[in-house]
């Protein structure tokens, strides 16, 4: 399927920009801020500035800044976590250039937490052999960073912010990108024309039944890029965070208990209070995330329990309130005082390592199409992302993408054209999209989660393919249709890729090794 829209879709307005950035998290904002101010740019947010995975990010941003750290040590931890599948050129760029972007954020007034000497404070998270994670607002790094950057974005004359703008299609002609079709306010269709489109739409959490990602994370950017012919890579590598807050009455949107809680001394225990990560990995609770998530699942299988616990009660009430204000208060809302009670946790979908394949400057295989952040596959994460490398990736590769657009635009001054009237019609559909979407999510959680089996993957692939075929055969201009279609599109790509990788590696754990 090339386009969701058809020739009968009524385009209400056309706007011209040099650059369209789809997504208003850290990747989108930082890319926009690094563009040449002579380039006009629109940032399209599906909802508003405070709805993104970046906004929810707790732990922080990893970078080798402290005196006893080096980019080489950060690189080592990154590739060990990535289980040897990292693109080493990209990972070296990430750790080598990261410190300069943290310094840039300080200049842009991101209020990082400081120690008593006024120096950046560092915490530790899983897979790191050093304390190198800077944070803001205690456990509100994402919110504080996005707030600071969006304030500056709002003052830039060349940047327009458009909220409630849902990406339907990326438009191309024979020379590459010509723009994007967006549904605005769930009412009118807008055609933003531009020669550069940057996909910064974040994660795909809604492809699973439970996730830490926001409700907008339906894989819109990745699915639209796929329809336009973009290549994906490493899409089978889905990260399950070990510690989503476990609640009996969860609605599928899981609150995260940051790995920094374990970094500050939190212990993972079973219902009997026994630590079970000791002996499984030399870093125990602070092993790379995929290992801890599987360690919990194994323990739960053995005990028949639904969840494990984090015990951080060795820390004082005063420390916990100051260091983890959001976690402290959300847990308290659920009747858990983290200074006296163990926190119930279980693994939950959190991140996508792969995505739209890019080079080290954000370029995809389609001229004018770029991808940054979680939607992109720069290769820095390999088969499992090191904690707090995600925001760093948004910064380093956002800046590099902006730089490549700043140079590239000289060769592509005109807006290009495309004849939308030639897009084929499809019969109108009236399915219950919520049911179809939930079917896909259940199939993914049951068969393509942290532990996978060939039969389950094969079954999921056949069922998801049927649903996708059904959705692709009809037309509906609703966002509910689009989201169901995108979820099925991305889910099928993940299962396909998972089936093509018979050996376990990193986050892709196949319990019954099989031949392709
Ligand atoms: C966390 O705070 O545990 C999440 C940080 C990350 O995803 O890297």
- pLDDT tens per residue across span 32-77: 999 999 999 999 999 999 999 999 999 999 999 999 999 999 999 9
State if residue 387 touches ligand 1 by the CB under 6 angstroms criterion.
yes
State if residue 391 touches ligand 1 by the CB under 6 angstroms criterion.
no
Q: How far apart are CA 77 and CA 86, in angstroms?
A: 11
- Residue 421 is predicted with a pLDDT of 87
Task: Please compute the mean of the pLDDT values over residues 331-342 and round it to a whole number.
Answer: 98
Lowest mean pLDDT among 217-221, 419-423, 445-449: 419-423
Q: How far apart are CA 180 and CA 200, in angstroms?
A: 14
State if residue 138 touches ligand 1 by the CB under 6 angstroms criterion.
no
The two three-digit tokens of residue 319, written as one number: 């420390």
Residue 62 CA: nearest ligand 1 atom is 8
State if residue 327 touches ligand 1 by the CB under 6 angstroms criterion.
no
Is the predicted pLDDT of residue 413 greater than 60, yes or no? no
User: Could you say which of 289, 399, 400, 452 is catalytic?
Assistant: 289
Is the predicted pLDDT of residue 432 greater than 90, yes or no? yes
Task: Please compute the mean of the pLDDT values over residues 347-376 and round it to a whole number.
Answer: 97
Residue 385 CA: nearest ligand 1 atom is 8
The two three-digit tokens of residue 2, written as one number: 């090339």
Residue keyed to tokens 């889905």? 238
What's the gap in Å between 6 CA and the centre of ligand 1? Answer: 40
Task: Please compute the mean of the pLDDT values over residues 259-281 and round it to a whole number.
Answer: 95
What's the gap in Å between 88 CA and the centre of ligand 1? Answer: 22
SS3 356: strand
What's the gap in Å between 206 CA and the centre of ligand 1? Answer: 18
- Compute the residue count for the chain: 516
Is the predicted pLDDT of residue 297 greater than 80, yes or no? yes
DSSP 511: S
State if residue 148 touches ligand 1 by the CB under 6 angstroms criterion.
no
Is 91 buried (19+), middle (13-18) or exposed (0-12) by CB count in 10 A? buried
Residue 59 CA: nearest ligand 1 atom is 2
What's the gap in Å between 365 CA and the centre of ligand 1? Answer: 30
- Residue 408 is predicted with a pLDDT of 77
Prediction pTM value:
0.96
- Residue 410 is predicted with a pLDDT of 52
Whether the CB-CB separation of 30 and 391 falls below 8 Å is answered with: no
Is 227 labeled as catalytic in the residue annotation? no
By DSSP bridging, strand 41-44 and strand 159-162 are parallel
Lowest mean pLDDT among 22-26, 225-229, 287-291: 287-291
What's the gap in Å between 386 CA and the centre of ligand 1? Answer: 9
Residue 125 CA: nearest ligand 1 atom is 3
The two three-digit tokens of residue 226, written as one number: 């796929």
CA proximity to 287, closest of 118, 70, 506: 506
Q: How far apart are CA 379 and CA 443, in angstroms?
A: 27
State if residue 353 touches ligand 1 by the CB under 6 angstroms criterion.
no
**Residue from 258, 350, 392 to probe ligand 1 pocket by mutation (most atoms less than 8 Å from CB):** 258
Whether the CB-CB separation of 194 and 19 falls below 8 Å is answered with: yes
State if residue 349 touches ligand 1 by the CB under 6 angstroms criterion.
no
- Residue 417 is predicted with a pLDDT of 74
State if residue 59 touches ligand 1 by the CB under 6 angstroms criterion.
yes
State if residue 374 touches ligand 1 by the CB under 6 angstroms criterion.
no
Report the chain's mean pLDDT, rounded to a whole number: 95
Lowest mean pLDDT among 114-118, 202-206, 256-260, 404-408: 404-408
Q: How far apart are CA 168 and CA 228, in angstroms?
A: 11
What's the gap in Å between 101 CA and the centre of ligand 1? Answer: 19
- Residue 515 is predicted with a pLDDT of 59
What phi and psi values does residue 350 have, to the nearest 5 degrees?
-135, -35
């Amino acid at each position: 399927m090339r386009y969701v829209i058809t020739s009968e879709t009524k385009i209400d307005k056309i706007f011209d920009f040099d650059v369209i950035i789809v997504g208003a998290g850290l990747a989108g904002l930082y890319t926009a801020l690094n563009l040449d101010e002579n380039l006009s740019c629109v940032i399209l947010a599906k909802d508003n500035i405070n709805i993104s995975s970046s906004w929810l990010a707790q732990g922080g941003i990893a970078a080798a800044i402290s005196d006893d750290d080096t980019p080489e040590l950060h690189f080592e931890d990154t590739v060990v976590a990535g289980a040897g599948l990292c693109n080493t050129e990209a990972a070296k760029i990430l750790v080598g250039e990261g410190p300069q972007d943290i310094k840039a954020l300080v200049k842009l007034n991101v209020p990082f937490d400081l120690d008593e000497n006024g120096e950046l404070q560092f915490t530790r998270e899983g897979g790191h052999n050093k304390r190198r994670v800077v944070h803001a607002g205690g456990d509100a790094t994402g919110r504080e960073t996005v707030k600071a950057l969006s304030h500056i974005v709002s003052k830039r004359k060349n940047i327009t912010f458009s909220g409630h703008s849902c990406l339907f299609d990326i438009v191309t002609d024979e020379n590459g990108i010509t723009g994007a079709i967006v549904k605005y306010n769930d009412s009118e269709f807008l055609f933003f024309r531009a020669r550069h489109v940057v996909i910064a739409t974040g994660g795909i959490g809604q492809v699973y039944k439970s996730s830490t990602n926001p409700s907008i994370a339906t894989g819109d950017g990745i699915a639209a890029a796929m329809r336009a012919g973009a290549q994906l890579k490493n899409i089978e590598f889905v990260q399950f965070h070990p510690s989503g807050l476990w609640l009996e009455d969860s609605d599928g949107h899981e609150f995260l208990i940051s790995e920094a809680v374990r970094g500050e001394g939190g212990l993972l225990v079973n219902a009997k209070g026994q630590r079970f990560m000791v002996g499984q990995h030399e870093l125990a609770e602070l092993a790379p995330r995929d290992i801890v998530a599987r360690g919990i699942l194994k323990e739960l299988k053995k005990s028949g329990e639904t969840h494990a616990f984090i015990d951080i009660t060795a820390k004082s009430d005063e420390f916990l309130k100051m260091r983890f204000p959001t976690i402290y208060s959300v847990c308290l809302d659920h009747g858990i005082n983290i200074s006296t009670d163990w926190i119930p946790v279980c693994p939950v979908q959190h991140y996508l390592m792969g995505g739209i394949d890019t080079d080290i400057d954000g370029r995809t295989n389609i001229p004018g199409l770029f991808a940054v952040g979680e939607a992109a596959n720069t290769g820095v994460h390999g088969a499992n992302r090191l904690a707090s490398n995600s925001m760093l990736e948004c910064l380093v590769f956002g800046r590099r993408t902006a730089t490549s657009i700043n140079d590239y635009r000289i060769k592509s001054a005109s807006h290009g054209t495309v004849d939308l009237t030639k897009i084929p019609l499809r019969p109108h559909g009236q399915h219950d999209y919520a049911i179809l979407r939930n079917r896909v999510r259940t199939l993914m959680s049951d068969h393509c989660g942290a532990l996978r089996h060939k039969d389950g993957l094969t079954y999921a692939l056949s069922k998801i393919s049927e649903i996708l075929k059904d959705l692709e055969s009809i037309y509906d201009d609703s966002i509910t249709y689009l989201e169901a279609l995108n979820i099925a599109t991305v889910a099928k790509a993940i299962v396909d890729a998972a089936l093509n990788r018979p050996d376990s590696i990193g986050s892709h754990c196949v319990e019954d090794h099989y031949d392709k």
